[in-house]
Structure 1
Amino acid sequence: MIDRRRLLMTAAAGAGLAASGAPVPAAASQDAGAGLHALMDAIVQKQLMTSPETLTSLGLDKGAAAPMKARLDDRSAAKLEADKADFRASMTQLKALDRTAMSAQDQVYFDTLEFFGDTVLSGYEIPYGGGFFPSPYVVSQLTGSYQAIPDFLDSQHSIETREDAEAYLSRVAAFAVALDQETDRMRAEMARGAVPPDFVIDKTLTQLAALTDTPAAESVLSRSVARRAGEANIDGDWGARAAAIVAADVYPALERQAAALREARPNATHDAGVWRLPQGDAYYDFGLRYFTTSTMSADEIHQLGLDQIAELSDRADQALRRLGMTQGTVGERIAALGRDPAQLYPNTDEGKAQLLADLNAQMADMDRRLPEYFGRIPTSPVEIKRVPVTIEAGAPGGYYQSPTLDGSRPGAYYINLRDTAEWPRFTLPTLTYHEASPGHHHQIALQQERPDTPLLMKVLGFSAYSEGWGLYAEQLADEMGVYADNPAGEVGYLQSLMFRAARLVVDTGLHSKRWSREQGIRYMVDTLGDQESSIATEVERYCVWPGQACSYKVGHVRWVALREAAKARLGDRFDIKGFHDTGLNAGGVPLTVLERVINDWVAARAA
């Protein structure tokens, strides 16, 4: 999956392809387009350029923006409300523009921004979970600065000069302020009814304790600056200075946040879904629309998942039989394959290092295959890394972090190695193809590298497009023949698709059909044969990101349907490279916009 920052600011390169509609006179198109571009620039200045963390993530915290490198985002309720007011004003300006007088490219920009704006504004009507991302809880095992900032400072704040190191220390001090701002917002939203489930609070408290139980000098905040300043030959006792701030400011703020959660714990229920919250059904509708960019109802998505599980289970059954595994259910046989000692890496530092080395070898093999299927190949490299130990307990199994716009930091695909038993060998190739190439890294790096694209369109994106492409990339890898000599890997590929189909069932089960956490876990374990520990983490994730887990398969189904429709219409004129390049050039757009772009490409080739 893509990490939360990527979900917030998914890189997209705009859409310079033909859109439907009659030709627009040049003068009218220029005037309307100028208004749109001026508005997009204004949104960037109001929303993005006031976010120091976004500037660092994009590699834009240099030059005139260098002072921002010493700051963190303002997480106060006042800033959130100001952002909402600015965004509402921007959307009012957007609605006043004449879309029909825009160029084809600008119409795609307009439609993308309008969909995003309409969806976000609908979420503003609910008195909790505000902002640009559907998560009803300010702090959880997956949300909150306690979870994000240490990793952000370690992996994204570059340290090349003394000024960079000083800016790092300033951000460590600001971390305490961010924690208190979120604690205040968390208390206010819990008072409005948005209390997390008891198991979410418990895991969050466990992760907070893991931070504060670590001696300040041994914290990632202290060790990171000490290590990297040393590597850059910057004199100074940076680790000790960071540790002093951590002990005096950060740890007390973490304790205050933990205390607020402990106070709320007696009022927490074990119910997992957002249906129990005020306006919970409306909140889930918001999450589904935001993440799937579709009008599918929870019932329709639930049924899609059940249908896909039935089809994929039959395919997995045949693949397992080819391995000589005939006894038991599909889930039981996949579980047995996952317990095979030949499929397991030792749960040691050496075993984990070998796992990472094998992933890099798989990536090198894929790189050799890409030119047969794509006209454009990204120039940005991708690194394969371990999820930081400090957050691995509650973190997803794998996620992708995009490169900076200036090329100073490559893309990164993170894999959670808390327990290598969660990653049998047969499951790993598919994960790599999803997170790196031809999946997230391939798609996002191409978007960022596409020239002449407004900055807003480089950071605005949609989960159904990106995660749908990630699953499509898994299918494409199979079509490339990567499993020809790896029949167990084919089982891993089919299990991955089953996993995403099961997500449709469980996410809608939790939030619409009132399933319990345990019911969701049992369904996935029985269906997939996965480790219960990893499935529990997954199901708990769905509880705090309602709807996000549905984006994968809904997006995948649409990508495949568009390709098959193009093949049917074009016949021998269908070009797989052209299809891929067209779809990826569209950028991170809603599925409705992607469909229009692909259909126009098909019509042009047919003519």
Structure 2
Amino acid sequence: MMDRRKLLMSVAAGGALAAVGPVRALAQTAAAPAAGAASAQFLALLDKIAQEMILSDPETLTMLGMDRGPMAQARFKLSDRSQAKVDADKVKFTDAMKAVKAIDRKALGTDEQVYYDTLEFFGDTVMDGYRFPYGGGFSPSPYVVSQLGGAYQQIPDFLDSQHRLDTPDDAEAYLSRLSDFAKGLDDERARMQAEFAAGAVPPDFVIDRTLTQMGAITGTPAADSVMTRSLARRTAANNIPGEWAAKAQAILTNEVYPAIQRQADALKAVRPNATHDGGVWRLPDGEAYYRFGLKYYTTSSMTPDEVHQMGLEQVAEISARTDALLKAQGMTQGSVGARVAALGKDPRFLYPNTDAAKEELIKELNAQMVAIQARMPEYFGRLPKSPCDIKRVPVAIEAGAPGGYYQSPALDGSRPGAYYINLRDTAEWPKWTLPTLTYHEAVPGHHFQIALQQEKPDTPLLMKVMGFSAYSEGWGLYAEQLADEIGAYENDPFGQIGYLQSLMFRAARLVVDSGLHHKRWSREQGIRYMVDTLGDQESSIATEVERYCVWPGQASSYKVGHTTWVRLREDAKRRLGARFDIKGFHDTGLNLGGVPLTVLERAMNAWTPA
């Protein structure tokens, strides 16, 4: 899912909002005249946090569509990736959380108490992370650079998909950012080497995957780079004259490619002594680091053993449901995983691995999204204003990227939401798996949840962009379940099998995430368990398991969140009986914005008093 995770890290690490003037104008956060002193003080503090954080993060300004007008100079810079910036942000964040704690929560209004509880949980969790000598403290990823993280992996797509090119000034800003890209790479290299010295060397397979992706970038002639071609294509389309492509090639050749190579050389230097163990248990205080990761991502107090057991139980339950559906289609022989694997290889359900077929696949996804969108007024009182595009993961990063992820709309409406699908190999996406992906990433999943959060009026900007994986990913799985409940698979038994496989996939993540980081499973053990359980292709499962190795705890957030959303709905039905209203449940839960599960539960219990 997109990049919501990266956006959240930007918020915490020094990047998310805008100056007080733009914050108030855009988010309409000024306290009402009748608001109490504590509420006014707290709302002013939220604006102050927003002001201090966003001004230091130009990339987030661009992501939010706020790099125009008084913030236009942000277009010429990328985020500061130096250790000095990390240290300065730590001081700012610590001071901000002290100021939050000084507010009298009991004197706040209902909405402000939700904001308070959300910030308090986030702040307390981040403080837990500060004690580790790696990972930056703001999120549980112990490696600055990996196959899923680092400027080399993020910036080419950022420049292509988010940096606007409407004027000559925008083109100059693009070139300036290309130069800044090289500096950010060197700053990251220094932090990466400090992490190595602290004992946080990535496992050998992560280094290898990262080097492959770096080589794909530097091995592409600068003239053919996505960064050059994007600049050339879009300046031509907007009639912006100039030798932009030639200038971009020069910067890539003389500055960016050498900086990527320096990162690659630093990784190669530690590769001979890198371990093959992927779990963070092998890092200094690694078991505690995994508990930090679970708390951060699941926003719960679940232990690693509880997570592992939940996964085993849910895999067994969902597997039994899948077995029944497979038998109904005449597939009776072999394990559930083996039968699903056979279904995944059935030529009836496979697109050719060609560009034309990939375009057809995306066209079909759009049709599915339009069809489910038509049903949404029956189940939601509020609907997003922003549309959602469906795009292919850029070829340059598809080897190590997740199967699908979501990108938020710009706050000013200048860019729609988008979900990306990884089409490195269409065999990884049998047709019966695709509807569920759409329901998870777009409608009524991530796009609904995040666009509604951003579009909610009278909300502090900080709360428009905060997010928690268990809440959002749990909602994504709940959205898959809702689609099934309203009949999306009524005439599509294979699509329903795809839906159950998706749920089982997330349940298996609980097992493998805790297996890798707590029970000391090997990469291969994790891959074997998921392939045998799910029937997925080993190539796609390998990148999944490698992902869990660099984001400890994140893979567990999905099913923990989903289980909570479903339990809260069933609790509400039991308490309200005939008064239960599905629109009210959805609107109340999504109206909170991105919050920890503890805050979600408190709010939903208040909506359904006993």
The question of a shared fold, defined as TM-score above 0.5 by the shorter chain, is answered with yes
Unpaired stretches in structure 1, ≥5 consecutive residues: 14-25
Which residue of structure 2 aligns with residue 2 of structure 1?
2
Which residue of structure 1 aligns with residue 428 of structure 2?
422
Correspondence for 1:413 among 419, 429, 446: 419
Secondary structure of 2:420 counterpart: strand
Which residue of structure 1 aligns with residue 175 of structure 2?
169
Which residue of structure 2 aligns with residue 78 of structure 1?
84
Paired residues of 2:548 and 2:554 also in contact (CA < 8 A) = yes
CA distances 1:192-217 after superposition (whole Å, capped 9, x unpaired)? 10000000000000000000000011
CA–CA distance in structure 2, aligned partners of residues 174 and 310 of structure 1:
50
Which residue of structure 1 aligns with residue 524 of structure 2?
518
Which residue of structure 2 aligns with residue 58 of structure 1?
64
Which residue of structure 1 aligns with residue 21 of structure 2?
none
TM-score using structure 2 length: 0.96
Secondary structure of 1:589 counterpart: coil
CA–CA distance in structure 2, aligned partners of residues 83 and 30 of structure 1:
31
CA–CA distance in structure 2, aligned partners of residues 319 and 191 of structure 1:
52
Paired residues of 1:7 and 1:463 also in contact (CA < 8 A) = no
CA–CA distance in structure 1, aligned partners of residues 40 and 148 of structure 2:
40
CA–CA distance in structure 2, aligned partners of residues 464 and 5 of structure 1:
15
2:230 is the alignment partner of 1:229: no
CA–CA distance in structure 2, aligned partners of residues 586 and 521 of structure 1:
37
Correspondence for 1:307 among 313, 326, 334: 313
CA–CA distance in structure 2, aligned partners of residues 464 and 8 of structure 1:
15
Secondary structure of 1:385 counterpart: strand
Which residue of structure 1 aligns with residue 551 of structure 2?
545
User: Within 5 Å, which residues of 2 pair with 1:29-48?
Assistant: 30-48=36-54
What is the CA-CA distance between 1:48 and the residue it aligns to?
2.1
Which residue of structure 2 aligns with residue 197 of structure 1?
203
Secondary structure of 1:345 counterpart: coil
Paired residues of 1:345 and 1:352 also in contact (CA < 8 A) = yes
2:534 is the alignment partner of 1:528: yes
Correspondence for 1:220 among 206, 226, 230: 226
What is the CA-CA distance between 1:105 and the residue it aligns to?
1.1
Which residue of structure 1 aligns with residue 28 of structure 2?
none
What is the CA-CA distance between 1:6 and the residue it aligns to?
4.0
Paired residues of 2:308 and 2:510 also in contact (CA < 8 A) = yes
2:280 is the alignment partner of 1:269: no
Paired residues of 2:8 and 2:465 also in contact (CA < 8 A) = no
Paired residues of 2:469 and 2:557 also in contact (CA < 8 A) = yes
What is the CA-CA distance between 1:8 and the residue it aligns to?
2.9
CA distances 1:468-506 after superposition (whole Å, capped 9, x unpaired)? 000000000000101011000000000000000000000
Unpaired stretches in structure 2, ≥5 consecutive residues: 18-31
Amino acid across the alignment from 2:176: S
What is the CA-CA distance between 1:39 and the residue it aligns to?
1.5
CA–CA distance in structure 2, aligned partners of residues 212 and 50 of structure 1:
29
Amino acid across the alignment from 1:5: K
Which residue of structure 1 aligns with residue 254 of structure 2?
248
What is the CA-CA distance between 1:2 and the residue it aligns to?
2.8
What is the CA-CA distance between 1:236 and the residue it aligns to?
0.8
Distance 1:393-1:7 versus aligned 2 partners, 3 A rule = farther
CA–CA distance in structure 2, aligned partners of residues 308 and 513 of structure 1:
19
What is the CA-CA distance between 1:370 and the residue it aligns to?
0.5
Paired residues of 1:6 and 1:401 also in contact (CA < 8 A) = no
- The CA RMSD over aligned residues, in Å, is 1.5
Distance 1:277-1:359 versus aligned 2 partners, 3 A rule = same
Paired residues of 1:461 and 1:589 also in contact (CA < 8 A) = yes
2:557 is the alignment partner of 1:582: no
2:467 is the alignment partner of 1:461: yes
CA–CA distance in structure 1, aligned partners of residues 289 and 49 of structure 2:
25
Which residue of structure 2 aligns with residue 360 of structure 1?
366
Amino acid across the alignment from 1:96: A
What is the CA-CA distance between 1:132 and the residue it aligns to?
2.2
Correspondence for 2:347 among 325, 341, 345: 341
CA–CA distance in structure 2, aligned partners of residues 133 and 434 of structure 1:
24
Paired residues of 1:316 and 1:495 also in contact (CA < 8 A) = yes
CA distances 1:536-561 after superposition (whole Å, capped 9, x unpaired)? 00000000000000000000000000
CA–CA distance in structure 2, aligned partners of residues 10 and 343 of structure 1:
41
Paired residues of 1:10 and 1:462 also in contact (CA < 8 A) = no
Paired residues of 1:10 and 1:458 also in contact (CA < 8 A) = no
Correspondence for 1:503 among 496, 509, 533: 509
CA–CA distance in structure 2, aligned partners of residues 10 and 590 of structure 1:
16
User: Within 5 Å, which residues of 2 pair with 1:277-426?
Assistant: 277-426=283-432
Paired residues of 2:409 and 2:417 also in contact (CA < 8 A) = yes
What is the CA-CA distance between 1:266 and the residue it aligns to?
1.3
Amino acid across the alignment from 2:199: G
Runs of 4+ in structure 1 displaced over 4 angstroms? 9-13, 26-29
What is the CA-CA distance between 1:293 and the residue it aligns to?
0.3
User: Within 5 Å, which residues of 2 pair with 1:111-190?
Assistant: 111-190=117-196
Amino acid across the alignment from 1:436: A
CA–CA distance in structure 2, aligned partners of residues 366 and 8 of structure 1:
32
What is the CA-CA distance between 1:97 and the residue it aligns to?
1.0
CA distances 1:380-399 after superposition (whole Å, capped 9, x unpaired)? 00000000000000000000
What is the CA-CA distance between 1:38 and the residue it aligns to?
1.7
CA distances 1:500-521 after superposition (whole Å, capped 9, x unpaired)? 0000000000000000000000
Amino acid across the alignment from 1:209: G
TM-score using structure 1 length: 0.96
